[in-house]
Amino acid sequence: MTDPLGQSQVLPYLCGLSNAGTEMHLLSFEKPDRFAEMQDAIRRICNEYGIMWYPHGYTKSPPVLSTIKDIRTMRAAIRRLDRKHNFAILHCRSYIAMQAAFPLREDGKKILFDMRGFWADERVDGGLWNLENPLYRSVYSFFKKQERKWLEHSDAVVSLTHAAADHIRANFRTAPGRLSVIPCCTDESLFVPHPKPVKGPFTLLYSGSLGTWYLLEEMLEFFVQLRTYYPEAMFKILTMEPESSIYEVSDRLGIERSVLIIKAVKRRDMALEMNGADAGIFFLKQAFSKMASSPVKQGEMMAMGIPLFCNEGVGDSSYIVKTYNSGIVVPEYTKEAYRQAIEKFRGTKFDAEAIRKGALDYFSLAGGIRRYRAVYDSLL
């Protein structure tokens, strides 16, 4: 919960569900440095909304063995808490939580598999598990077998995207009515456009983490092409990643550091920093597992009324862009494709208010909370 994703994609839902009358108990595993910095703030939020929070320490190494240790710790904690509180539903966010909790289905607990994506395939597609290594090949095979069992025998399944849900329906015996789609939602009360600042140079915006999936070099190459149309353009990057990792790439591409604005921004200040951007961008690595991805930044940019550039093959992103006229889809990573996308952007009239309405229709946090509550009600 002390990671940015926990603060945007877990806590807001739980606060809303608790407000709606659901008794919430939250078991999480936290990185020591983030926990030391953020635990008091997270505990204040949980106390305010009546959420019982049970944080444990997350262990990262050695690979595989540390995960087995965390799963055992999690399972023991669930059983201990269940003896005291007699839970009706175990809401499991992703695969590790499922591995810990699924055996309790035999005790009559309803299991909600909130899958978040094809986790084992993400590890392979992201280069974290090399299947030529017998250990990782064995672990991958194990989790793919578990995945089939969970998708076919959980009491409810939540997918982030319709693309992944269609794949599940076609390839797994998931019971009709048990599968729901709830994207990564955006807090519409937090991401609200402010009055436009005094107009300055064209600003391209990126927000969020960089690394495994996000294609920094390709986005910077796009920015180089953008500057041929907007010579004074700036690239604003809101991220917790170190500046040096960005400059290492931008220097190689010959981009002056003076045209990059790199800021580490807390969630509460994100909307203010995003305000006034002329366009957003995110390029993700294309892979099988990415059909299940719902980029948080897409809903946030749309809620701010910012049109965006994105690539093909990432969850429902292209469909959303086209449905709500909220940006331009870039088909490939070439100078020609970038120029064509920019020219199309320049020739398209984007309505910031309409883009925000699209976000409220598709990514609304209030709507996401209602959908989770409907899943809970169906299980009870």
Q: Could you check whether 59-185+364-379 and 203-362 share the same CATH topology?
A: yes
pLDDT band at 92 (very low <50, low <70, confident <90, very high): very high
Domain chopping of the chain, boundaries = 59-185+364-379, 203-362
Share of the chain above pLDDT 70, in %: 100
CATH architecture type of domain 203-362: 3-Layer(aba) Sandwich (3.40)
In this prediction, residues 246-268 reach a mean pLDDT of: 95
Helices (H), 290-331: 296-303, 317-323
pLDDT of 267:
86
pLDDT band at 71 (very low <50, low <70, confident <90, very high): very high
pLDDT of 197:
72
- Nearest C-alpha neighbor of 286 from the set 309, 311, 308, 310: 311
Residue 225 pLDDT exceeds 80: yes
Percentages (nearest 5) of helix, strand, coil residues in the chain: 50, 15, 35
pLDDT of 28:
97
Mean pLDDT for the chain overall: 95
**Which residues, 6+ apart, have CB-to-CB distance to 37 below 8 Å?**
2
Q: How far apart are CA 380 and CA 2, in angstroms?
A: 30
Q: Which residues of 22-61 are buried (b: 16+ CB within 10 A; e: fewer)?
A: bebbbbbbbeeebbeebeeebeebbeeeebebebeebbee
- Nearest C-alpha neighbor of 257 from the set 272, 277, 237, 275: 237
Residue 274 pLDDT exceeds 80: yes
Q: How far apart are CA 186 and CA 188, in angstroms?
A: 6
pLDDT of 22:
95
The full length of the chain comes to 380
- In this structure, how many other beta carbons lie within 10 angstroms of the beta carbon of residue 308? 27
Q: How many CA atoms lie within 13 A of 272 on its CB side?
A: 7
pLDDT band at 211 (very low <50, low <70, confident <90, very high): confident
Considering the entire predicted model, what is its pTM?
0.93
**What confidence tens digit (pLDDT) does each residue in 325-342 have?**
999 999 999 999 999 999
pLDDT band at 230 (very low <50, low <70, confident <90, very high): very high
pLDDT band at 125 (very low <50, low <70, confident <90, very high): very high
315 Cα distance to chain centroid? 11
pLDDT band at 284 (very low <50, low <70, confident <90, very high): very high
pLDDT of 199:
78
Q: How far apart are CA 20 and CA 40, in angstroms?
A: 24
pLDDT of 47:
97
pLDDT of 103:
96
What residues are paired with 93 via a beta bridge? 114
pLDDT of 168:
97
Dump the DSSP string for 237-286.
Answer: EE-SS-HHHHHHHHHHTT--GGGEEEE---GGGHHHHHTT-SEEEE-B--
What residues are paired with 236 via a beta bridge? 205, 261
Query: In the 8-state DSSP scheme, what is residue 189?
Result: T
- In this structure, how many other beta carbons lie within 10 angstroms of the beta carbon of residue 370? 14
CATH architecture type of domain 59-185+364-379: 3-Layer(aba) Sandwich (3.40)
**What confidence tens digit (pLDDT) does each residue in 138-174 have?**
999 999 999 999 999 999 999 999 999 999 999 999 8
